[in-house]
Structure 1
Amino acid sequence: MDGVTATGVRAHARIVARPDGRGGTALPVLDGEGPLALRRTRAAGGEARVLVVGAMSGPLGGDRLALTASVAEGARLHVGSAAATIALPGQTKAEARYDVRLDVADDAELRWLPEQLISAGGSDLYVTTHAELTAGARLVLREEQVLGRSGEEPGRLTSRLTVRIAGRTVLDQELACGPGAPGGWDGPAVLAGQRAVGQLVVVRPEFAQEPVRAQALGECAALIPLAGPAALLSAVAPDALRLRRLLDEALARFD
């Protein structure tokens, strides 16, 4: 259950996708709480589509938010969000957390394509995304972070992204930015003064036989194969618009 305590909001949203027996995908569980409202939208082919709608401001300092999505064998699910998520300072100086857990079974596909996460000045957010896939699962996962609104210094943002396939970790990376983060985050080896950073992870069983070729995509993005049937694009940009353009161009290579 969701609730509000002296240290912030507690909320957990859940999505479960299963084949409907008619070539489509059913959503037997679509349960949003607090600031994480879930809305089913028009399906496309056999794919079910869900939007995460921000029903409250946040995450704020002290909030504990979680979202889990499980895609059963043979199901196809597309999850997006209605607008950017903005991490804001709260009444407490405590760190906020937003934890995402994704499970995808054999012969199932998840497209996880939310809008940007914006780290507003004075905020402190730790966000984790953990994807657990079986050997025959398919995944497209986009993650975008923007440091500060227009003309604003960012808050502190720590982001950890983990992808496991058939019980083996193929990606586990963490990036901390903003006030109090380890030194060097804004230097030439990390963001180099840019204010938007993003990742695109694509998992496809056929990559086991035909791995993606490592290559630079312009000056600010790189595509690399992972140690499994997966590929990672990492990109930085001056702003959210140019970051999205880079990620969209990369995704078009796989669609």
Structure 2
Amino acid sequence: MTIVASRARTPRIEARGGLAVRRTGAHRVHLIGSAATPLGGDTIEVRIVVEAGARLEVCTVAASVALPGRITDVSHARWSLEVHDGGDLVFDPEPTIVAGSAEHHSTVGLHLGTGSRAVVRERVQLGRTGEHLGRWTGTFDVDTGTTPVLRHRLDLGPGADGHDALFAPMAAMSTLTWPSTALPDATGDVRSALDTTMPMAGGGTLSTWLGHRLPVVQPARLAPADSAEDGSAP
């Protein structure tokens, strides 16, 4: 799948397979699951390009559920995000739910141009109601020009580092803001959780939350003062 946002027109979309895309605003699209995906053995590849001076918000209509397949339990999702000079991107899909016997690997690569702004959030929950298994690995890389800004990886589930009797997180949320922007506090059951915010040396901020059940959060947004006059975001 490829989504390209430009200043001169609505986003251009090329989609096939288990994901469809709908334009839901002048600068907003929603991803829609048109089939049960990701199943074990599936690889989802999405490229999102925000051209110079353009704006785009990417959401999903519902959470996705990673399920085991007939041959393998492992599925993959690869997200390539490019924000060119002066572009704005909000990437805020609904959570990925990893079913009890499934294993899902997520890779997010973000490339930022000069004067660009971005909010990128990823949320994952291991297990549906009553399930206490599932594995997830998430890799998040950020670059500006030829300069690496972030190399970040999280592992959740039995066998992962940190999954022990003292603290065995079953949910994670990572939010990158570029440049640094204050984020609203999460609401809901945030007990027995680990919440950290890390200003990055190259600019921007990475906030990471680990716990047992995902908290309720407001939709990700760029700074309100910079929102579009027609009410669409960013």
TM-score range normalised by the length of the shorter chain: 0.7 to 0.9
Match of 2:200 among 223, 226, 242: 226
Q: Say if 1:186 and 1:172 are closer, same or farther in 2 by CA, change over 3 A.
A: farther
What letter corresponds to residue 71 of structure 2 in structure 1? T
In 2, Cα distance between equivalents of 1:131 and 1:187: 35
Give deviations 1:2-50, integer Å, cap 9, x for gaps: xxxxxxxxxxx11001001xxxx522x211211111110023xxxx100
In 1, Cα distance between equivalents of 2:154 and 2:210: 13
User: Secondary structure of 2:168's match?
Assistant: coil
Match of 1:184 among 162, 165, 168: 162
User: Is 1:123 equivalent to 2:98 in the alignment?
Assistant: no
Match of 2:123 among 117, 137, 144: 144
Measured on the aligned residues, the alpha-carbon RMSD in Å equals: 2.3
TM-score of the two chains, using structure 2 as the length reference:
0.84
Give deviations 1:234-253, integer Å, cap 9, x for gaps: 1123312x2x33xx49x689
Counterpart in the other structure of 1:202:
177
Share of identical aligned residues, percent?
A: 31
Shift of 1:68: 0.6
In 2, Cα distance between equivalents of 1:123 and 1:31: 28
Counterpart in the other structure of 1:215:
none
In the alignment of these two chains, the number of paired residues is 216
Structure with greater contact order relative to length (CA < 8 Å, sep ≥ 6)? 2
Q: Say if 1:94 and 1:239 are closer, same or farther in 2 by CA, change over 3 A.
A: closer
Structure 1 residue runs of 5 or longer lacking an equivalent are 1-12, 213-217
CA contact (8 A) 1:134 1:167 kept: no
Give deviations 1:148-182, integer Å, cap 9, x for gaps: 11110232211111111222221111122224x44
User: Secondary structure of 1:26's match?
Assistant: coil
Shift of 1:109: 0.4
Shift of 1:187: 5.8
In 2, Cα distance between equivalents of 1:119 and 1:145: 8
Give deviations 1:53-77, integer Å, cap 9, x for gaps: 0111120111111001000001000
What letter corresponds to residue 169 of structure 2 in structure 1? Q
Counterpart in the other structure of 2:2:
14
Match of 2:68 among 59, 70, 89: 89
User: Secondary structure of 1:157's match?
Assistant: strand
Aligned runs of 1:1-255 on 2, under 5 Å? 13-20=1-8, 25-27=9-11, 29-43=12-26, 48-93=27-72, 95-179=74-158, 181-186=159-164, 188=166, 192-204=167-179, 207=180, 220-240=194-214, 242=215, 244-245=216-217, 248=218, 254-255=223-224
Counterpart in the other structure of 1:9:
none
CA contact (8 A) 1:119 1:149 kept: yes
